[in-house]
């Protein structure tokens, strides 16, 4: 007597897919979703997927096995398996191309993008995802009125029986797509294997394609990269669960107004990201000329952002003075709820400004400083409200980069920390709370890394060799290309002295007018000032040789292993010190910082996760070896905490913090 079957979720969600935690569970082994999807598809009764909320991964694959899909207008659908190092392993790589065609399927499966119900231009206009209807009506309207009239054969509704739509130039299309996928993968396996699975759909019958999908899925499941990406998925969520013992919170709503002070590169990005998040913002500069320059730059950024958005400028509404105002009048400070100061990294200037802010702003206003290294306590000491002062370290470009490092000082109150975390959330950034020390967590770990990179040049390497090793590891950009991009005159830590080995190389380059991309020359040469294409520079090579001769450094060949280990292990070593000092509350925090702020390849899980996969004993042994060879480099001397963990028999990462006796203060 059953006429039709409807599959739906509950609580407003269809399905977020398989339980990601289960992939590493032995209980999961042997349980496959594909055969269940096939079973649904073979049903003699029509089966409808009624999609509300999200239909992701295995959830969407179930929907693809149904004979009809109907979605709520606000539904979001996608196959994000690639982002956790897998591919849609429940026959999704074979069914989706049959439904939406190869280009759209490849795009969805290799990027994991989640789609709302908007017709991408390349999709057929009659696409069957596009059936908006309110779910409470599905039952009555859809099942009864559409299916019940007899004679609707189910055969054509079974995706596995459909051919994959042909393209006139399938071969050329696929080879071009593969180049693109590889280029964007930076060593991550999943996108390419996703591609291979979809390609199989274009070449083989459904059943053979499914077998190929399974083979590729198993390769990924056991690759190690899937584990790293799944670790990163949960780490990102865990670090955002910062709660205060008192449960303090502060909500950013429409009635709250923010002020951004300083319209240099960082300030411009910060204002842009506030406007994007639809928070009313006032941009304040000290001087009319800088204000006008800043306004122009912000407007340019916003126009560009608006173009990327569906309804463009109207949605951002940035011409509306209620949303965005530019001023040099410090009186506006009286009304704002939160200030983000983003002036130059100069302690005296910041203190002067904070003193002023403290005098003018209303008593409840929070004062944030955007700094990458300066002491939050010292800045707070210039105010009469140190409990409301906090560091918010944005990463450049601030409207793009996801990380917000949130630094509390001695007196910062839990409410202020909760507020900054809430700000991160509203800005769609990943907020990570850390303690106050020079460089905080992220830059402090970067110092020894950058320092090693320069020392390697002194000893015999070339910038292009070091960058290549780091980029092959999966970083988007190596340390020298990065330095050229940021500008060599922007304080690089390699020049810190503290009585230890110090390399003057970056300074010498600056003395030669080589500031990086902006001058067309730095560690590399560029086609012109402001050029982007880095080419190895014979001038630099001979400069390095002369430098070694002058300092009687014997040039030696440095292999890739040494380059990688000295750069990365010194960075990781610093991470162990940071954990031991309670600056970060766990290794996951450092990993999330590195993935979201420093381009650490996500498929390697972050530096501390990577350390756990390499093995702490190996890292310790290598650091011991390198520090013996370079006793004047403190960054290579193994951290006491690392030594302790090795002595305790290499406990798993999630137990590391239990080996520290001192509990974190506010974390
Ligand atoms: C046998 C089957 C074989 C193969 C086929 C199937 C493969 C798959 O389906 S793989 C999984 C594919 N799905 C995903 O990758 C979705 C991942 N989740 C998300 O994208 C988001 O969480 C969301 C869009 C579903 C919700 O976002 P949001 O509202 O911002 O909330 P949170 O991200 O904070 O998530 C809330 C809460 O749920 C946990 N969670 C979400 N999805 C999963 C999942 N698929 N497995 C396990 N847990 C999941 C998330 O960790 C949060 O948990 P906590 O509150 O404890 O942190």
User: Which pLDDT tens digit goes with each residue over 293-339?
Assistant: 999 999 999 999 888 876 555 677 888 877 899 999 989 889 889 99
Q: Are 41 and 65 in contact (CB under 8 A)?
A: yes
Distance from C-alpha of 452 to C-alpha of 164, rounded to nearest angstrom: 52
Q: Are 86 and 221 in contact (CB under 8 A)?
A: yes
Give the start-end residues of each E strand in 79-142: 114-116
Q: If you measure from the C-alpha of residue 598 to the centroid of ligand 1, how many angstroms do you get, rounded to a whole number?
A: 25
Residue 71's pLDDT band, with cuts at 50, 70 and 90, is confident
Distance from C-alpha of 418 to C-alpha of 296, rounded to nearest angstrom: 33
Q: If you measure from the C-alpha of residue 434 to the centroid of ligand 1, how many angstroms do you get, rounded to a whole number?
A: 26
- pLDDT above 90 as % of the chain: 73
Answer whether residue 125 shows pLDDT above 90. Answer: no
Ligand 1 proximity of 81 Cβ (cutoff 6 Å)? yes
What burial class does residue 5 get, using C-beta atoms within 10 Å of its C-beta: 0-12 exposed, 13-18 middle, 19+ buried?
middle
Q: If you measure from the C-alpha of residue 405 to the centroid of ligand 1, how many angstroms do you get, rounded to a whole number?
A: 24
Displacement of CA 208 from its chain's centroid (Å): 36
Q: If you measure from the C-alpha of residue 103 to the centroid of ligand 1, how many angstroms do you get, rounded to a whole number?
A: 26
CATH number corresponding to 443-550: 1.10.1040.10
pLDDT score, position 498: 63
Catalytic residue among 10, 41, 52, 61: 61
Answer whether residue 496 shows pLDDT above 50. Answer: no
Q: Residue for token digits 């897919």?
A: 17
Q: If you measure from the C-alpha of residue 253 to the centroid of ligand 1, how many angstroms do you get, rounded to a whole number?
A: 27
Q: What is the DSSP string of 28-71?
A: GTT--SHHHHHHHHH-SS-EEEEE-SEEETHHHHHHHHSSEEEE
Answer whether residue 133 shows pLDDT above 80. Answer: no
Q: Are the folds of 443-550 and 560-659 the same?
A: yes
Q: What is the pLDDT of residues 345-404, one digit of tens each?
A: 899 999 999 999 999 999 999 999 999 989 999 999 999 999 999 999 999 899 999 999
CATH number among 3.40.190.290, 3.10.580.10, 3.90.1720.10, 3.40.50.720, domain 258-439: 3.40.50.720
* DSSP H or E segment with residue 340: strand 338-341
Helix (H, G, I), strand (E, B) or coil at 366: strand
Report the nearest atom of ligand 1 relative to the CA of 217: 4
- pLDDT above 70 as % of the chain: 88
Residue 510's pLDDT band, with cuts at 50, 70 and 90, is very high
Please confirm, yes or no, whether 588 is among the known catalytic residues: no
Q: What is the dihedral of CA 621, 622, 626, 627, to 10 degrees?
A: -40
Q: Residue for token digits 């990102």?
A: 236
Q: What is the pLDDT of residues 217-230, one digit of tens each?
A: 999 999 999 999 99
pLDDT score, position 4: 84
Count of residues in the chain: 667
Per-residue pLDDT averaged across 190-218, rounded?
Answer: 98
Report the nearest atom of ligand 1 relative to the CA of 234: 51
pLDDT score, position 69: 85
Q: If you measure from the C-alpha of residue 21 to the centroid of ligand 1, how many angstroms do you get, rounded to a whole number?
A: 9
The more confident residue out of 376 and 51 is 376
Please confirm, yes or no, whether 128 is among the known catalytic residues: no
Helix (H, G, I), strand (E, B) or coil at 245: coil
pLDDT score, position 75: 85
Residue 20: C-alpha distances to residues 28, 189, 246, 601 (Å): 10, 18, 32, 20
For 564, the token pair is 């990688």
Ligand 1 proximity of 33 Cβ (cutoff 6 Å)? yes
Catalytic residue among 41, 52, 81, 305: 81
Answer whether residue 89 shows pLDDT above 50. Answer: yes
The more confident residue out of 501 and 409 is 409
Distance from C-alpha of 395 to C-alpha of 173, rounded to nearest angstrom: 37
Ligand 1 proximity of 16 Cβ (cutoff 6 Å)? yes
Answer whether residue 563 shows pLDDT above 60. Answer: yes
Distance from C-alpha of 464 to C-alpha of 467, rounded to nearest angstrom: 5
Answer whether residue 492 shows pLDDT above 60. Answer: no
Pick the residue whose CA is nearest to atom 6 on ligand 1: 58
pLDDT score, position 115: 85
Ligand 1 proximity of 463 Cβ (cutoff 6 Å)? no
ipTM exceeding the 0.85 mark: yes
Answer whether residue 169 shows pLDDT above 60. Answer: yes
Q: Are 379 and 370 in contact (CB under 8 A)?
A: no
Ligand 1 proximity of 57 Cβ (cutoff 6 Å)? yes
| Closest by Cα among 512, 525, 450, 447 to 484 | 525
Q: If you measure from the C-alpha of residue 579 to the centroid of ligand 1, how many angstroms do you get, rounded to a whole number?
A: 28
Q: Considering Cα of 566, then 568, then 573, then 574, what sign does the dihedral take? A: positive
Helix (H, G, I), strand (E, B) or coil at 10: strand
Ligand 1 proximity of 84 Cβ (cutoff 6 Å)? yes
Pick the residue whose CA is nearest to atom 37 on ligand 1: 237
Displacement of CA 317 from its chain's centroid (Å): 27
For 486, the token pair is 């940021």
Answer whether residue 148 shows pLDDT above 90. Answer: no
Report the nearest atom of ligand 1 relative to the CA of 18: 9
Distance from C-alpha of 438 to C-alpha of 172, rounded to nearest angstrom: 53
Residue 22's pLDDT band, with cuts at 50, 70 and 90, is confident
Per-residue pLDDT averaged across 402-431, rounded?
Answer: 94
CATH number corresponding to 560-659: 1.10.1040.10
Domain 5-222, classified CATH 3.10.20.740, yes or no: no
Domain spans in the chain, listed from the N-terminal domain onward: 5-222, 258-439, 443-550, 560-659
pLDDT score, position 212: 98
Report the chain's mean pLDDT, rounded to a whole number. Answer: 89
Ligand 1 proximity of 90 Cβ (cutoff 6 Å)? yes
Per-residue pLDDT averaged across 29-49, rounded?
Answer: 89
Residue 435's pLDDT band, with cuts at 50, 70 and 90, is very high
Give the start-end residues of each E strand in 95-254: 114-116
Pick the residue whose CA is nearest to atom 2 on ligand 1: 33
Helix (H, G, I), strand (E, B) or coil at 2: coil
Q: Are 448 and 635 in contact (CB under 8 A)?
A: yes
């Amino acid at each position: 007597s059953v006429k039709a079957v409807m599959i739906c979720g509950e609580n407003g969600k269809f399905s977020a897919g398989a339980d990601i935690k289960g992939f590493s569970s032995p209980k999961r082994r042997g349980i496959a979703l594909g055969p269940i999807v096939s079973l649904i598809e073979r049903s003699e009764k029509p089966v409808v997927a009624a999609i509300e909320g999200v239909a992701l991964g295995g959830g969407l694959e179930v929907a693809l096995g149904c004979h009809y899909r109907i979605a709520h207008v606000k539904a979001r659908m996608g196959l994000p398996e690639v982002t956790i190092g897998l591919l849609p392993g429940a026959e999704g790589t074979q069914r989706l191309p049959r439904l939406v065609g190869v280009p759209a399927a490849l795009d969805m499966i290799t990027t994991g993008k989640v789609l709302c119900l908007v017709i991408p231009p390349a999709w057929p206009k009659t696409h069957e995802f596009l059936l908006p209807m309110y779910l409470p009506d599905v039952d009555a309207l859809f099942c009864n009125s559409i299916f019940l009239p007899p004679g609707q054969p189910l055969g054509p509704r079974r995706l596995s029986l459909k051919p994959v739509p042909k393209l006139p130039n399938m071969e050329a299309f696929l080879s071009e797509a593969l180049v693109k996928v590889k280029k964007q993968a930076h060593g991550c396996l999943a996108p390419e294997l996703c591609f291979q699975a979809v390609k199989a759909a274009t070449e083989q019958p459904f059943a053979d394609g499914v077998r190929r999908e399974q083979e590729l899925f198993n390769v990924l499941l056991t690759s190690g990269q899937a584990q790293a990406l799944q670790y990163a998925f949960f780490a990102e969520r865990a670090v955002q669960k910062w709660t205060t013992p008192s449960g303090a919170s502060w909500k950013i709503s429409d009635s709250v107004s923010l002020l951004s002070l300083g319209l240099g590169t960082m300030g411009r990005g910060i204002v842009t990201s506030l406007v994007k998040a639809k928070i009313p913002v006032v941009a304040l500069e000290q001087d009319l000329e800088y204000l006008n320059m800043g306004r122009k730059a912000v407007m340019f950024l916003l126009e560009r952002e608006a173009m990327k958005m569906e309804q463009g400028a109207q949605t951002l509404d940035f011409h509306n003075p209620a949303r965005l105002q530019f001023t040099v009048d410090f009186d506006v400070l009286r009304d704002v709820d939160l200030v983000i100061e983003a002036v130059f990294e100069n302690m005296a200037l910041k203190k002067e400004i904070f003193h002023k802010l403290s005098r003018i702003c209303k008593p409840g206003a929070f004062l944030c400083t955007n700094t990458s290294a300066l002491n939050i306590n010292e800045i707070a000491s210039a105010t009469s409200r140190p409990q409301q002062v906090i560091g918010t370290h944005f990463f450049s470009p601030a409207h793009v980069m996801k990380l917000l490092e949130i630094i509390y000082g001695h007196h910062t109150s839990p409410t202020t920390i909760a507020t900054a975390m809430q700000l991160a959330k509203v800005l769609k950034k990943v907020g990570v709370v850390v303690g106050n020390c020079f460089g905080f967590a992220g830059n402090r770990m970067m110092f020894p890394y950058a320092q090693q990179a320069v020392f390697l040049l002194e000893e015999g390497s070339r910038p292009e060799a070091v960058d290549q090793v780091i980029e092959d590891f999966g970083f988007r950009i190596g340390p020298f290309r990065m330095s050229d991009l940021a500008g060599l005159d922007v304080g690089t830590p390699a020049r810190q002295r503290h009585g230890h080995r110090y390399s003057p190389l970056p300074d010498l380059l600056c003395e030669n007018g080589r500031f990086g991309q902006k001058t067309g020359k730095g560690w590399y040469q560029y086609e012109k000032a402001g050029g982007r294409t880095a080419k190895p520079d014979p001038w630099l090579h001979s400069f390095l040789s002369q430098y070694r001769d002058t300092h009687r450094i014997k040039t030696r060949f440095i292999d890739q292993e040494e380059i990688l280990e000295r750069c990365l292990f010194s960075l990781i070593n610093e991470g162990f010190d940071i954990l031991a000092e309670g600056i970060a509350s766990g290794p996951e925090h450092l990993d999330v910082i590195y993935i979201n702020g420093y381009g650490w390849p996500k498929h390697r899980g972050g530096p501390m996760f990577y350390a756990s996969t390499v093995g702490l004993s190996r890292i310790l042994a290598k650091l011991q070896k390198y520090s013996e060879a370079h006793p004047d480099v403190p960054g290579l001397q193994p951290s006491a905490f690392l030594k302790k963990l090795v002595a305790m028999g290499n406990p798993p990462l999630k137990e590391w913090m239990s080996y520290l006796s001192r509990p974190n203060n506010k974390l």
